[in-house]
């Protein structure tokens, strides 16, 4: 996470002038700045701008209006200032306020060495062209990171585990299932566990069809656990071509709150039963998977399972280390960051999982967001203390990997600041976690 995030200044909306925008050109000004610490992450700024600077801003606004405004009876650029003041006084003052704040706010936070993490809430004071102008800004800042303990963390994750012959056999069987082909079952019309069935179905609650519960020509492996518990079991014994009815009680924690804990009536018709024919475990099958024979296939499968176990072990160690790191170094999280991150996690969950959500889902998102934010600040501080850095060639190499994997143009990736910064942060965090693992006591 970058320190000193760029923020926009929120000022009162300007009255519509319907004129082209212009950019303020105020010189750097001397302002008085006072800071009140409201909490570890909240500050209140009071900024006072001298009368001479206020007058300069107002004069510039009127000069710009004179250049842009077209009024009947006056040549372009020749409208008297007094006329403009009479017609546009309120709007001009609002523009001057906006100009003054946009110019002095960055200077104020820089002078006080503040690192905002969100846009400020601006409250302008009374305004007069001949007097000093004061405004307050409520903002959240990067929390202080007081690292108490990060070396020698002790975590227990259990042994990595060795790949067994049984696991190899099960994985090969999974591959055979993956490459199996379906064919219509001959000589029987009733469904049994393990069959693949083509069916139509629809759910009803209190006698009314349930929204999004109707499906046609749905292909399902009976016993796979794909559907709500009880649905697939009810299909066993059903006959092809005949509609059947059965009731299923949805789990209390089902994502659809309108169905959670409710008994639903399903009407279903099995249109076809299919059986999966698995390929023989021979050298031909092995060649289809890119190796020479069955022996080489078993070797390749074992190596892949070992790689997965290593990845799973590192993941468990990483999660345990980060949990211990957060627990050992308490810190306050800025509420704006927490809200924004939680909302992003929540929206992603809704997109991936679908269905309705409840308070438990939001609470889980908030908890995950808090962990993410604390982790980011802590890893950033550890990197600073230990001098851990990411080289540009490392970023370039990762960008090339992304380009090759996704097909995206490498030049576009290089020019996308968000992508580059994301890659740099990911690489830095990975290096810090590797450092923590080297220093930790893992059992």
Q: pLDDT (tens digit, 0 to 9) for every residue of the chain, 443 residues total?
A: 333 222 233 333 322 333 333 344 445 567 999 999 999 999 999 999 999 999 999 999 988 888 887 787 787 777 888 888 888 899 999 999 999 999 999 999 999 999 999 899 999 999 999 899 999 999 999 999 999 999 999 999 998 889 999 999 999 999 999 999 999 999 899 999 999 999 999 999 999 999 999 999 999 999 999 999 999 999 999 999 999 999 999 999 888 889 999 999 999 999 999 999 999 999 999 999 999 999 999 999 999 999 999 999 999 999 999 999 999 999 999 999 999 999 999 999 888 876 566 688 899 999 999 999 999 999 999 999 999 999 999 999 999 999 999 999 999 999 999 999 999 999 999 999 999 999 999 99
Same domain? 358 vs 262: no
For residue 143, give every residue at least 6 positions away whose Cβ sits within 8 Å of its Cβ, in sequence order, or none. 40, 41, 331, 332, 333, 334, 377
Domain limits at 432? 294-442
Instruction: Report yes or no on 161 lying in a domain.
Output: no
Residue 310 shares a structural domain with residue 271: no
Token pair for residue 17? 């002038």
- Per-residue pLDDT, 25: 42
Give a yes or no: residue 128 inside a domain. Answer: yes
Q: Which of 140, 171, 193 is the last residue of a domain?
A: 140
Q: Clarify whether residues 244 and 370 are in a common domain.
A: no
User: For residue 97, is it within any domain?
Assistant: yes
Q: Does the residue 146 lie in any domain? A: no
DSSP string computed for 57-100: HHHHHHHHHHHH---TTS-TT---HHHHHHHHHHHHHHHHHHHH
Residue 21 in any domain: the answer is: no
Residue at a domain's end among 140, 167, 192: 140
Pair (399, 429) in one structural domain: yes
Count: domains in the chain = 3
- The CATH number covering residue 378 comes to 1.10.3120.10
Is 308 in the same domain as 432? Answer: yes
Say what the pLDDT of residue 279 is.
96
69 phi/psi in degrees, rounded to 5: -75, 140
**β-bridge mates for residue 204, sequence order:** 209, 265
Measured in whole angstroms, the distance separating CA 162 from the mean position of its chain's CA atoms is 35
410 within domain boundaries: yes
Determine, yes or no, domain membership for 285.
no
Distance CA 263, CA 72 (A): 75
Residue 22 lies in a domain: no
Residues 366 and 404 in one domain: yes
**Based on the domain organization, do 373 and 326 belong to the same domain?**
yes
DSSP per-residue letters across 177-215 = HHT-EEEEPPS--B--TT-EEEEEEEEEETTEEPTT--E
The pLDDT value recorded for residue 1 is: 35
CA 187, 193, 197: angle at the middle one, nearest 5? 65
Residues 262 and 316 in one domain: no
Assess whether 41 and 134 both reside in one domain. yes
Is the separation of the CB atoms in 435 and 382 below 8 Å? yes
Domain at 47, CATH number: 3.30.70.1050
Q: What pLDDT score does 109 carry?
A: 93
CB 395 within 8 A of CB 424: yes
Cα separation, 88 vs 72, in Å, equals 15
Integer Cα distance of 394 and 74 in angstroms: 63
Chain-centroid distance of CA 366 in Å reads 12
What count of Cα atoms within 13 Å lies in the side-chain half-sphere of residue 371? Answer: 15
Q: Considering 249, 277, 305, which residue would you say is the last residue of a domain?
A: 277
Residue 266, token pair as written in the block: 């399903």
| 435 shares a domain with 301 | yes
What's the token pair of residue 433? 């976690």
Helix, strand, coil proportions of the chain in percent (round to 5)?
45, 20, 35
Output the domain CATH number for residue 233: 3.10.50.40
Could you tell me if 299 and 272 lie in one domain? no
Q: What is the CB-side half-sphere exposure of residue 11 using CA atoms within 13 A? A: 20
**DSSP structural state of residue 47:** E
Which residue from 156, 150, 149, 154 is spatially nearest to 441, judged by alpha carbons? 154
309: left (phi over 0), alpha (psi -120 to 50) or beta: alpha
331 plus 213 within the same structural domain: no
What gap in Å lies between CA 211 and CA 188, rounded to an integer?
34
């Amino acid at each position: 996470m970058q320190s000193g995030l760029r923020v926009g200044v929120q000022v009162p909306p300007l009255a519509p002038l319907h004129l082209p925008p212009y950019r303020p050109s105020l010189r750097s000004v001397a302002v008085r700045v006072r800071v009140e610490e409201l909490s570890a992450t909240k500050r209140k700024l009071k900024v006072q701008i001298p009368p001479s600077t206020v007058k300069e801003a107002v004069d510039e606004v009127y000069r710009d209006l004179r250049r842009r405004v077209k009024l009947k009876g006056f040549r372009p650029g020749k409208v008297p200032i007094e006329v403009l003041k009479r017609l546009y006084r309120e709007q001009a003052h609002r523009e001057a306020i906006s100009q003054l704040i946009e110019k002095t706010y960055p200077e104020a936070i820089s002078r006080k060495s503040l690192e905002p993490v969100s846009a400020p809430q601006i409250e302008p004071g009374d305004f007069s062209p001949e007097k000093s102008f004061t405004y307050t800004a409520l903002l959240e800042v990067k929390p202080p990171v007081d690292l108490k303990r990060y070396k020698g963390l002790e975590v227990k994750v259990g042994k990595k585990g060795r790949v067994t012959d049984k696991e190899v056999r099960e994985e090969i069987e999974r591959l055979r299932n993956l490459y199996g082909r379906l064919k219509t079952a001959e000589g029987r019309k009733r469904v049994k566990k393990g069959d693949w069935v083509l069916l139509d179905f629809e759910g009803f609650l209190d006698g009314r069809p349930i929204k999004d519960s109707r499906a046609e020509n749905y292909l399902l492996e009976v016993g796979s656990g794909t559907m709500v518990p009880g649905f697939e079991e009810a299909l066993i014994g059903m006959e092809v071509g005949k509609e059947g009815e059965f009731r299923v009680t949805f789990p209390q924690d089902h994502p659809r709150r309108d169905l959670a804990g409710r008994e639903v009536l399903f009407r279903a018709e099995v249109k076809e039963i299919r059986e999966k024919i698995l390929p023989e475990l021979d050298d031909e099958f092995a060649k289809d998977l890119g190796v020479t024979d069955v022996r080489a296939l078993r070797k390749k499968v074992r190596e892949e399972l070992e790689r997965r176990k290593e990845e799973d072990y590192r993941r468990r160690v990483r999660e345990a280390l980060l949990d211990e790191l957060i627990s050992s170094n308490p810190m306050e999280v800025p509420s704006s960051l927490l809200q924004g991150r939680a909302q992003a996690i929540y929206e992603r969950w809704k997109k991936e999982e679908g269905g309705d959500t409840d308070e438990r889902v939001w609470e889980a998102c908030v908890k995950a967001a808090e962990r993410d934010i604390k982790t980011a600040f802590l890893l950033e501080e550890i990197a600073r203390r230990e001098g851990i850095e990411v080289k540009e060639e490392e970023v370039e190499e990762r960008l090339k990997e992304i380009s090759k994997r996704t097909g995206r143009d490498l030049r576009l990736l290089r020019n996308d600041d968000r992508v580059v910064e994301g890659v740099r942060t990911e690489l830095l965090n990975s290096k810090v976690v590797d450092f923590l693992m080297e220093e930790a006591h893992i059992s």
